[in-house]
Structure 1
Amino acid sequence: MKITQIDLYAIRLPLISPFIVSYHTYDDMPSIIVKITTDEGIVGYGEAVADDHVTGESWESTFALLQHSLAPALIGHNPMHFETLHDKMDAIVYQAPAAKAALDIACYDVVGKKLGVPVYDLLGGRYHERFPITHVLSIGEPEAMAQEARERMEQGYSSFKMKVGRDVTSDVARIRAVRNEVGPDIAIRVDVNQGWINASSTLQAIEQMKDLGIDWLEQPVKADDLDGMVEIKSKSTISLMIDEGLKYKREMLQVIKLGAAHKANIKLMKCGGIYPAMKLAHMAEMAGIDCQIGSMVESSVGSAAGFHVAFAKKIFSSVELTGPLKFSKDIGNLHYDVPFIALNDQAGLGVDVDESVLEELTVRHQTVIAP
């Protein structure tokens, strides 16, 4: 089996409401969908959601890199040879994980369809039967965030991830308002997205919210400040999760060596796809670090890929892949039984892509074939 054609679609996914984090407000979500076709007529889909602040890639640069470098390099190669394909991509460009993830995911979709098995069966088989879905609260006024949490709790959600990172005083007010609204038994996870900058301000925040029953605190300091993570972890009883500070194997090794986090947020867009995500999960498992599959607000395609990784490994205890729930229109049909998700057993990613919606949302399309 060989890859004969790769189609690239630069799309913008419409959000029901703006998605607000510490460093940006998204009115829609720019994404790149990759469609791989083989000489046997098998089609697989992948996705790249680039983030200038996290992966160092933009929507435009990712499309150009795929069009001119990465996609042409994979034409004629067997999509089943994951290690070889990643080696080829790594030899072409340093990092660029979201671009590589799109091709990686599409190859897994192809191989699953070729063998007639779900992607999780390519990763060791299904371990989890279902996962509870955590609702993500964008940054807003304390009362508005509390009201949204109340409404979602009434829909059955039992955990919330709060986006904060503006300043310690207002952020603690947000967290306290949500806790007061939902009561003591609902899980609250706090994601700062680097917004508290350093250990000093983070420790001040922790002191102010020590009575709020926080499940864990995610990436409060700048991504490359592992020393700050170590200091916070040594002085706090709140579990600490690393996100933006963890992309590749080298960083996972440093996190393990330094004891910089209790938990790791593994995202396919940060590490280059399913294949490298599994390597990170194995490293974390050996070190006793609990794992989560996180979201870059992908469509059904990228979200399904993350779920397959999470469902296949015991070490994953939480998932936050809620992109499809945030879109007013999606290209795929990943199904949620809110507040849970239980993947189907269809071959590949198990997602049907609506080509008419894909065409509608496409801003730019390019086909790559053998020269």
Structure 2
Amino acid sequence: MKIARIEVYSVTLPYAGGTYRLSGGRSFTAFAAVFTRVMTECGLEGWGESTPFGSTYIAAHAGGVKAGLAELAPALIGMDPRHHDRIYDAMDAALVGHAHAKTPLDVACWDIAGKAAGLPVCDLLGGRVPGAVPLISSIGSDDPQAMRENVASHRELGFLGHSVKVGSAEAEGGPMLDAERVQACLADRRPGEWFLVDANGGMSPEQALRFLALLPKGLDFTFEAPCASWRETLSLRKRCHVPLLLDELVQSDADIAQAVASDACDGVGLKISKQGGLTPTRRQRDMARAAGLVMSVQDTTGSDIAFAAVLHMAQSTPRHVLRCALDTRSMVSLTTAAFDAPVQGGGAQAPAIPGLGVMPDMSIMGAPIAIYEDTP
């Protein structure tokens, strides 16, 4: 089996909640998604998605995905899409770094591999763990009461986890406002729910310590990505009384190894496009598991195809280390593909059909913006 053609598509995904706010004054009303369709000479095809969280979350942006694909896609023509590590070797040889650009190609190759084997992708990633994967919402920074209502709305939809965004600037209210936000969001906490308080690297150790000191005792949450650098994070780690989970600082195998060696955290947030696709995410998941770290499986944002990759990875992750998976579909108001994974009983299950189980809506995709193929 050989890759014969790669098509690239670009779609704008409006944010479902109007405006999404992060620490540092960052806000988003829409996200630029890039999709790849990898086609083989035998007729099988696979799809992948990369939707960066704007251009200020990590070193990634949609324009970079498109430019990166121009370097990467030609290097894969003629290769066997089932040889995941060799595919990744070829991409690394063609372009250093730029994990977000490698993601849609890597995921599409896993989609093909599942179809070729007659198995869902989760079976190829280690095997399905029975039962629904618990899902986590994403609650953007807002007025405390509005955030409480947002949590309640997602609770009614069946979400068991909630990622609460904090990191207010001093002029906006600083640690005091963030403490009020967290107390509001946890005010109606139900048994079995799990809360992340996520600063997205937007706090200094001083701000993080002030924030924690303002909270009443007994609030059960995990503090995610409080600081932007390793030095700040390790400084806070020595004085922090709640579990820490790293996200933006953990983007590679080396980052996982550093987090373990320095005892920097109690868990990691693995995002498919941030890690570079399913191939490196699977490896980093297993490294984290071996070190006793818990994890959430997410993506920066995205539509149905991004969620399919998230769900298959989470479905194959042992439950004792998996806390939640992010349903990116809940973040955007546009459906890009049919994907049979409804939220039921607090979670969702990867469909038991070959590949990712997605059927893209070509009326949404439109015409490809780039095509790469072997020309005589």
Q: Which residue of 1 aligns with 2:16?
A: 16
Deviation at 1:89, TM superposition (A): 0.9
Cα deviations by residue, 1:20-78 (Å, 9 ceiling, x for unpaired): 22242221121100000000011100011234334412211210220x21011101111
**Deviation (angstroms), 1:133:** 1.5
Aligned residue for 1:214, secondary structure, equals coil
1:103-133 per-residue CA deviation (whole Å, 9 max, x = no partner) reads 0000000111111100011112112421221
Given that residues 11 and 364 in structure 2 are in contact (C-alpha distance below 8 angstroms), is that contact kept between their aligned partners in structure 1?
A: no
Q: CA RMSD in A?
A: 1.8
Quick check: 2:10–2:365 contact (8 Å CA) kept in 1? no
Aligned to 1:272: 276
Q: Distance in 2 between matches of 1:233 and 1:206?
A: 12
Partner of 1:322: 327
Q: Is the 8 A contact 1:307 1:319 kept in 2?
A: no
Contact 2:100 2:273 in 1 (8 A): yes
Within a 5 Å distance, the mapping from 1:197-346 to structure 2 comes to: 198-211=204-217, 213-222=219-228, 225-314=229-318, 316-334=321-339, 335-338=341-344, 339-346=346-353
Mapped contact 2:158–2:347 kept (Cα < 8 A) = no
1:60 partner letter: G
Residue equivalent to 1:127? 129
Partner residue of 2:94 out of 92, 95, 99: 92
Cα distance in 2 between the residues matched to 1:36 and 1:243: 29
Name the counterpart of 1:61.
64
User: How far apart, CA to CA, are the structure 2 residues paired with 1:147 and 1:96?
Assistant: 37
State whether structure 2 residue 177 is matched by structure 1 residue 175.
no
Equivalent residues of 1:306, 1:321 under 8 A apart: yes
**Partner amino acid, structure 2, of 1:238:** V
**Matching residue of 1:46:** 48
CA shift, 1:199, in A, is 1.7
> Match for 2:64: what amino acid?
S
Q: Which is worse superposed, 68-77 or 230-239?
A: 230-239
Bigger mean CA offset, 11-20 vs 28-37: 11-20
Equivalent position amino acid for 1:195 in 2: G
Alpha-carbon distance change, 306 to 172 in structure 1, aligned in 2, over 3 angstroms = same
CA distance in 2 between partners of 1:88 and 1:63 (Å): 18
- For residues 260 and 336 of structure 1, do their structure 2 counterparts lie closer, same or farther at Cα, with a shift above 3 Å needed? same
1:212 & 1:71 partners in 2: Cα distance? 51
Deviation digits for residues 300-342 of structure 1 (CA, Å, limit 9, x no counterpart): 1111112111111216412332211232221112322243111
TM-score when normalising by structure 2: 0.91
**TM score, norm. by length of structure 1:** 0.93
Match of 2:171 in 1: none
Distance 1:305 1:155, change over 3 A: closer
- Counterpart amino acid of 2:31? M
Unaligned runs of 5+ residues in structure 1 are: none
Q: Distance in 2 between matches of 1:255 and 1:158?
A: 27
Question: Among residues 349, 353, 370, which one is paired with 1:366 in the alignment?
Answer: 370
CA distance in 2, matches of 1:203, 1:210: 13
User: What runs of 5+ residues in structure 2 fail to find an aligned partner?
Assistant: 169-173
> Are the structure 2 counterparts of residues 37 and 316 from structure 1 closer, same or farther at C-alpha, using a change threshold of 3 Å?
farther
Aligned-pair CA distance for 1:215: 1.8
Counterpart amino acid of residue 326 in structure 2: L
Classify 1:157/1:36 alpha carbon distance in 2 versus 1 (closer, same or farther; 3 Å). Answer: closer
* Alignment check: 8 A CA contact 1:184 1:213 kept: no
Aligned position for 1:111? 113
Distance in 2, matches of 1:261 and 1:168, equals: 22
- Compute the displacement of 1:226 (Å): 2.0
1:28 maps to amino acid:
A
Distance (whole Å) between structure 1 residues aligned to residue 73 and residue 126 of structure 2: 28
Please tell me the residue identity of whatever aligns with 1:250: A
Q: Distance in 2 between matches of 1:250 and 1:144?
A: 39
Asked if the contact 1:9/1:365 (under 8 Å) is kept, the reply is yes
- How many percent of aligned residue pairs carry the same amino acid? 25
| Cα distance between partner residues in 2 of 1:217 and 1:283 | 21
SS in 2 for 1:260: coil
